[in-house]
């Protein structure tokens, strides 16, 4: 049964990653929200390279709301899609000031009203900043690894998320994202998965993996 398979996957990944955490550097919910928004289409390392200056210059939504858009673009330029990201960040900062007292909201519905915030970002913020598990963040690593492991046959993030939510206990949803991301970066690589060094090799159907 797929539920038993999922339980084995969870047990082994938990043993491999006993203290999982996001690779983005942050100290407040606002910083995590910003870093996660910046992480689209780039690496966590690149985001971590630009956020120290970003957070030093504009440490709160109130500060960023008043910044010059060109200045924001200049700081985040290397993360790619910098114009759209800068617009979304500033618009989000202004909404947080106007509607939420300068605080990051703690519900999925409210987070999804913020420009540039979809379920993946909202799930990451809720889980890591507030310990609230509304869903499972699905990025390229989660999508790839969950398919290869036979946890889902879906290709759309929302369908993948629903499949995973049905297989794993709610308290594990936040950690599951970390497990699959870390495993996707270290073992289940996109181009050349390290199947011979995989601790899940005996239970993995290797869906989509070239022979």
Helix runs in 39-81, H state only: 44-57, 61-65, 69-76
139 an active-site residue? yes
- Look up residue 210 and give its two tokens: 């070239």
| Distance set, CA 164 to CA 17, 65, 94, 138, 149 (Å) | 19, 37, 34, 10, 12
Q: Measured between alpha carbons, how far is 129 from 81 in angstroms, rounded to an integer?
A: 25
Total residue count of the chain as it appears in this document = 211
The dihedral of CA 141, 143, 144, 150: what is its sign?
Answer: positive
Residue with tokens 């996001």: 22
**Interatomic CA distance for residues 37 and 47, integer angstroms:** 10
> Looking at 44, 71, 85, 139, which residue is catalytic?
139
Q: Which of 44, 71, 85, 120 is catalytic?
A: 120
Provide, for the chain, the percentages of residues in helix, strand and coil under a 3-state DSSP scheme, each rounded to the nearest 5: 65, 0, 35
Q: Residues with Cβ < 8 Å from 79, sequence gap 6 or more?
A: 38, 39, 42, 46, 47, 50, 85
Q: Is 192 a catalytic residue?
A: no
Which residues are part of the catalytic machinery?
120, 139
């Amino acid at each position: 049964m797929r539920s038993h398979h999922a339980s084995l996957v969870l047990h082994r990944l938990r043993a491999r990653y006993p203290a999982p955490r996001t690779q983005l550097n942050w100290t407040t919910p606002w910083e995590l929200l910003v870093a996660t928004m910046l992480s689209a289409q780039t690496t966590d390392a690149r985001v971590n390279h630009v956020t120290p200056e970003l957070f030093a210059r504009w440490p709160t939504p109130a500060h960023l709301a008043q910044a010059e858009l060109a200045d924001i673009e200049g700081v985040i330029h290397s993360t790619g899609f910098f114009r759209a990201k800068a617009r979304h960040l500033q618009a989000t900062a202004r909404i947080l000031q106007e509607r939420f007292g300068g605080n990051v909201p703690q519900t999925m519905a409210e987070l999804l009203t913020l420009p540039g915030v979809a379920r993946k970002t909202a799930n990451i913020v809720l889980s890591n900043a507030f310990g609230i598990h509304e869903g499972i963040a699905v990025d390229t690593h989660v999508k790839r690894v969950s398919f290869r492991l036979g946890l889902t046959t879906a290709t759309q993030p929302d369908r993948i998320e629903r499949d995973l939510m049905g297989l794993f206990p709610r308290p594990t949803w936040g950690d599951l994202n970390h497990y699959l991301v870390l495993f996707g970066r270290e073992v289940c690589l996109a181009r050349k998965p390290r199947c011979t060094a995989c601790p899940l090799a005996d239970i993995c159907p290797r869906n989509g993996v070239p022979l």
